[in-house]
Amino acid sequence: MRLTAGSGMHDVEQTRMFAQWLLDLGEGKLGGSNDGDAIIDIPDDLLIIDSADPISSLIEFVYPSLLENYQSSGFYQKRAILAPTNEVVDEINSQLLLMFPGDSKEYLSSDSIYETENLHDGFDQSLYSPDVLNGLKISGVPNHKLVLKVGVPIMLLRNIDKKNGLCNGTRLKVISLGNRVIEAEVISGSNIGARIFLPRIGIIPSDKKVPFRFQRRQFPVALCFAMTINKSQG
């Protein structure tokens, strides 16, 4: 069900039907009896018809007339593109950032081996140069290179101040980009409209796939025109 602007019982019913369709899809109730392999009919209004450039079509649907509307209060609050993987998220975010007006500002992290690793027998720190650490992309950790513009939506990747609603997953809108702090306005959660200043912080990834501990000092945010489905559930 395609949700359209407006209010009233029609919109409520559309939302209810769409939510039920998603639940039935997740619980395997669509497509008839099956052993895990089924053909499911997707409603036409959920499909991207433009096969030549589907991402651009999706962007235009979710963020209509972006350049005219992005400064409007609340424009981002009910809009986000959900994607299955971080690779797709990065592709969509990069395309939207290029479309966005204004100059971009680049922030590079400072990465280093966590000092306790030096105590491990057989650990050769020389194998992990700054270039190697900079190239690591880990879920829930800001990338080494963070590129932003004033006015874009970003998401917190760490709990900063739970009491005031600044938690992992909180969405914000960039107000200004300084050398040492980022000023942003909260656009989701319990503290919408509040303005905050974000510093760089040291983040130690907890991903077990990384066989050693290192620290990345970076602003704890990521661009979030698009986000992963898992992240949106938080």
Helices 86-99 and 54-62 sit at what angle, rounded to 10 degrees?
Answer: 70
**Res 26: pLDDT:** 75
Bridge partners for 218 per DSSP? 201
**24: Cβ–Cβ under 8 A, 6 or more apart, which residues?**
30
DSSP 161: B
Average of per-residue pLDDT values in the chain:
84
Instruction: Give the residue among 90, 89, 63, 88 at the shortest CA–CA distance from 78.
Output: 63
DSSP 44: G
**Res 124: pLDDT:** 66
| Sheet containing 181-186: order of strands | 195-199, 181-186, 171-177, 153-156, 221-223
In this prediction, residue 122 has a pLDDT band, given cuts at 50, 70 and 90, of low
* 183 or 38, greater pLDDT: 183
Indicate if the pLDDT at residue 119 is higher than 70. Answer: no
**pLDDT tens digits for range 45-90:** 778 877 788 888 889 989 999 989 988 878 998 889 988 888 899 9
Residue 181 tokens read as 């702090």
In this prediction, residue 233 has a pLDDT band, given cuts at 50, 70 and 90, of low
